[in-house]
Structure 1
Amino acid sequence: MQQDNPEVDPADQWVHDPETGRYRLDPAPGIAPQRRRVAAPPSAEGRRTAQRRAAAAKRTRRRRVLAWTAGAGALVMVVGCGGAYYLYQHFNNNLTSVDVQLGDEAERPKPAGDALNVLVLGTDSRQGLGREYGDEGSTGHADTTLLFHIAKDRSNATVISIPRDLMVPIPECRTADGKKVPGSTRDMFNNSLGQEGRDPGCTWKTVEKVTGIRVDHFVQVNFEAVKTLSTAVGGVEVCAAKDINDPDSHLRMSKGRHVVQGDDALAFVRTRHAVGFGGDLTRIPLQQQFISSMIRKIKSGDTLTSPTKLYKLADAATKALTVDSGIGSVDRLKDLALDISKVDTKNITFATVPVLDDPKDENRLVLKQPDAGHLFSMIAGDRSLTGAPTAPATPEATGAAGTPAAPAVDSKSVRVTVRNGSGTGGQAQQAVDRLRAKGFAKAATGPNAPATATSSVSYPAGHDAEAAALATALGLPGDAVRPDPKADPKGPLVLVLGKDVLTAPTPSTAATEAPKDLQRVQADDTDVCAK
């Protein structure tokens, strides 16, 4: 019986077969190969045919393994999985999957059809990393969150960053082991993961509630993944517009271009105090720059043609990755990678959710309306930020106005009292007219409310689905909806109109035009530098 040679790199046992375009396993050095019949030398025509087959196979193989990356290296894992699936089935054993509990299907946004939405969670978990990165042993929170939208025709992709300090409602959720975690009407977004035992399913539900966008899958990585993946691809080029010395992230970088990997790569994506205004919003563009460069490195480098590099990348990727059970195998990840690899790098846009400083706490953020709702509406409507033509979304995937579809409720039976807090007369009746046109036949005006900047919907216990449907009908974000524990359980929903209603976008523009002054980065832009 043959024994494996422990000194042989397993990647070196795979060699390229020019006739099939695939890799095949050859015996390790020192092991006698099987006897083969020796064929006669091929004719000139035979050599040309073999060359054509090899070239075609090489192109096919390249298409199979091309995929782009995301979330501080998270989706580069998919690249590795897609490129190495047929070589190393044992990668399945590396993967960790979670059965997310998403609750009542009727309360979720409707499916996006053939479009694809993937939630990428970069956690600040320190487990196994010692004290060097602070808070030793922390299980991690939603430190870096990106929602990847891939158009249904795969012509473009939009990646929105959700700031960790954003104040949002976190819904009640159940973890994979059945634990019930109470919700919170107002909390930091990063507490949707880790806090009180919340798992990625809780963050998934929070994103759907806040954005009105249905999530299809999630992938999660931690600090260690950034280090191992950046090393596996041979480093990632980044740029600094000035000298950077951040003692908190341990980044010391001179002005100019650098190739970072390992600890330096992690320090780069964690840096915030030494760039911009020193907060989370100035760290996000660094992460977008890093991910864009990673995408370009994978697509243009020599990683795809090296079995050894592919092996190392895929091995590091699958060990670092936690996913939902829907993509909890290398086979399914491979299919996902091949699907999203169809997007041209120039048509991948990174953007940050529009936010403002929280008037209640200068260290926190709130959604900037109507811009945030406008952006969410575009994504739900499968509209591109790059200008790439996209087939319009189907009515099943979005509301009639291109806004996120509401949970399934009988709007005709929902009682709504509309109060005007905008400071401009006549707004309550106009809102009632719009609601009745949308099927809310029992909408009625109520007394004026004190002046307020933002519109909101409050609801009695047990009427959260109706409140979500009302907010969606008006294009309001998820954090505009809040329970009223003092309300009569049999009472109506209460819609308070704020000053934002005076500048709300019309339905015709909400699904087609990006908000003005939206922060964005194109994945093919090589001139982006940390400032």
Structure 2
Amino acid sequence: MDKTGKRRSPLWARICVGLGAGVLVLSGGSLVAGQQLVAKYTGQVVDNSLLDPIELQEKPAEAAEVKSDINGPVNILLVGIDPRDEQTAPLADSILIAHIPRDRHSAYIFSIPRDLRVDIPAFEKSGTGADRNKINSAMSYGSRLGGNKFSEAQGFQLLAKTVGNLTGIKKFDAGAIVNFGGFKKIVEAMGGVEMVIDMDVKSEHLKPDGSTRDRKPACQGHHRCEHPYTGDAKFYKQSDKPVKLKAWEALDYVRQRYPNAGIPMSDYDRQRHQQQFIKAIAKQAMSRDVVTDPQKLLAVMDAAGGSLTFAGGSHTIVDWALELKDINVDDMVTVKLPGGGIFEPGYLGERFEPGVDDFFKAVAEDRVAPFLLDHPTYVNTQSS
């Protein structure tokens, strides 16, 4: 319980809602929407095959049994993808890791650039060999089932292995795949979202009214143009105070990553904006005008439940919520990992600066707080 005497909803629920997975909310130590509702959603979204590197299995959660043996530091892998069908290989458009220390006093969120060039290991299930490529390809490689069919859960396994090799995290304690198509429904259910616009940004894709921008005459009917759009564009003006954004505006803003849109640091700026978006949604989803309004709360949960695949190992979402219930979203620290482009001579992807390996070692040894005290430039001070 915090100093004001008010109970705080669990970090995992807030992270989940912020990432399109608001399947449960705790208040006063009990489930706001009731145990039956949580059972419904845990059964709908849980797929522990995400964390199973050997066998692809689906193990539904049982909300009735609550375990309390989640010990030590926790690492959760969160992956965002665009909507895909079974005939389209998924790509990991956003890769985030939540590290919660053993003492449960805080949480640290850091992103892996989608274009980071890494070693992707061979994967027997998909029949793919080892390769060096952009990390977002790992999910695509691992998802192959044959016969022009693909599995997001199987692709997640290879991505988790690839990210684990990169960071030194031997096994993730929980994981989630978030369909970004569900974000719009979540924000719509909340009536929009308020967030700070930390730089002037021009939309690459949308007009001021939210419709798609016109394509250049030379770019009609194909996707070979690097910047195919022309004409009026939606503009997001920098503001020191939170700005109310409609669902389509918020999703458009946080997906911009091109310098010609006003994003000088490309994907690194986009990562920061997505982290800001996560915190903004989490705060708003847990505000009184949402959690005390049953109709709005259920609408948010319905939208989130359809956009998430979650795996918690041998623990249910309820287990995780109860374990992390005392961590406040305001205690969430977002971390920026320094890096830059690889040009040999054309653009090949991104690479981290050498000091990032020391940060990963601090994560593995559960000493992120002292590392950040010694390296304050890693703290994203524009995360709220």
TM-score by length of 1: 0.54
1:42-67 deviation per Cα after TM superposition (whole angstroms, max 9, x unaligned): xxxxxxxxxxxxxxxxx99x656675
Deviation of 1:376 (Å): 0.6
The answer to whether structure 1 residue 350 and structure 2 residue 350 are counterparts is no
Q: Distance in 1 between matches of 2:294 and 2:321?
A: 18
Aligned partners of 1:72 and 1:226 also within 8 Å: no
Deviation at 1:103, TM superposition (A): 5.1
How far apart in 2 are the matches of 1:267 and 1:363? 26
Residue 94 (structure 1) aligned with residue 50 (structure 2) = no
The question of whether the paired residues in 2 share the 8 Å contact of 1:157 and 1:348 is answered with yes
CA–CA distance in structure 1, aligned partners of residues 33 and 262 of structure 2: 38
Distance 1:249 1:191, change over 3 A: farther
**Cross-structure match for 2:81:** 123
Query: Which of 134, 138, 143 is matched with 1:192 structurally?
Result: 138
Aligned to 1:182: 129
Q: Is the 8 A contact 1:67 1:337 kept in 2?
A: yes
Q: Give runs of aligned pairs for residues 295-374 of structure 1, distance below 5 A.
A: 295-324=282-311, 326=313, 332-360=316-344, 361-369=346-354, 371-374=355-358
Picking from 175, 185, 201, the partner of 1:218 is 175
Task: Give 1:69's aligned amino acid.
Answer: R
How many angstroms does 1:202 deviate by? 0.7
Give the unaligned 5+ runs of structure 1: 1-58, 105-111, 129-136, 388-510, 526-531
Cα deviation for residue 383 of structure 1 reads 2.0
Shift of 1:192: 1.1
Pair 512,279 (structure 1): closer, same or farther in 2 beyond 3 Å: closer
Determine the C-alpha separation between the residues in 2 that align with 1:314 and 1:512.
35
CA distances 1:209-247 after superposition (whole Å, capped 9, x unpaired): 001013111101122121122223332212224543213
Relative distance call for 1:373 and 1:290 in structure 2 (3 A) is: same
Report the Cα offset of residue 380 of structure 1: 1.3
Report the more deviating stretch, 247-256 or 203-212: 247-256
Cα contact 2:90–2:143 (8 A) shared by 1? no
Tell me the CA shift for residue 350 of structure 1: 0.8
Q: Does the CA contact (< 8 Å) of 1:238 and 1:260 recur in 2?
A: yes
Which residue number corresponds to residue 378 of structure 2? 518
Match of 2:188 among 231, 247, 250: 231
Quote the Cα distance in structure 2 between the aligned partners of 1:287 and 1:159: 11
- Alignment match, 1:114: 72
1:205 corresponds, among 145, 161, 182, to 161
Q: Which residue of 2 aligns with 1:73?
A: 18
C-alpha displacement of 1:313:
1.8
Query: What's the counterpart of residue 364 of structure 2?
Result: 380
CA distance in 1, matches of 2:11, 2:105: 15
Contact 2:120/2:162, CA 8 A, preserved across alignment: yes
Structure 1 moving runs of 4+ over 4 Å: 62-68, 78-83, 511-514
Give 1:143 deviation, angstroms.
0.7
- Seen in structure 2, the aligned counterparts of structure 1 residues 222 and 275 have a Cα distance that, compared at 3 Å, is farther
- How many corresponding residue pairs? 318
The structure with the larger Rg is: 1
Percentage of pairs with the same residue:
26
> What is the rounded CA distance, in whole Å, between the counterparts of 1:378 and 1:227 in structure 2?
35
Residue 253 of structure 1 is matched in structure 2 by 236
Classify 1:521/1:332 alpha carbon distance in 2 versus 1 (closer, same or farther; 3 Å). Answer: farther
1:183 maps to amino acid: A
Residues 1:85 and 1:201: Cα distance change in structure 2 (over 3 Å): farther
Residues 1:522 and 1:243: Cα distance change in structure 2 (over 3 Å): closer
What RMSD, in angstroms, separates the aligned Cα atoms of the two structures? 3.2
AA partner of residue 123 (structure 1): I
Secondary structure of 2:298's counterpart equals: helix
1:486-497 matches, within 5 Å, as none
Question: Structure 1 residues 72, 270: CA separation in 2 closer, same or farther (over 3 Å shift)?
Answer: farther
Q: Secondary structure at the match of 1:353?
A: coil
Give per-residue Cα distances to partners, 1:245-281, cap 9 Å, x unaligned: 2133665334434222432222122112223316211
**Runs of 5+ in structure 2 lacking a partner?**
56-69, 145-154, 208-233
Render the CA deviation track for 1:295-328: whole Å, top value 9, x for unaligned: 222343322222222211222222111123627x
Partner SS, residue 264 of structure 1: helix
Contact 1:378 1:513 in 2 (8 A): no
Separation in structure 2 between the aligned mates of residue 345 and residue 98 of structure 1, nearest angstrom: 26
Distance 1:289 1:66, change over 3 A: closer
Tell me which residue corresponds to 1:55. none
CA distance in 2, matches of 1:66, 1:289: 15
Q: Is the 8 A contact 2:18 2:279 kept in 1?
A: no
Measured after TM superposition, the shift of residue 159 of structure 1 is 0.7
Query: 1:287 Cα shift?
Result: 0.7
Higher relative contact order (CA 8 A, sep 6+): 2
**Alpha-carbon shift at residue 519 of structure 1 (Å):** 5.1
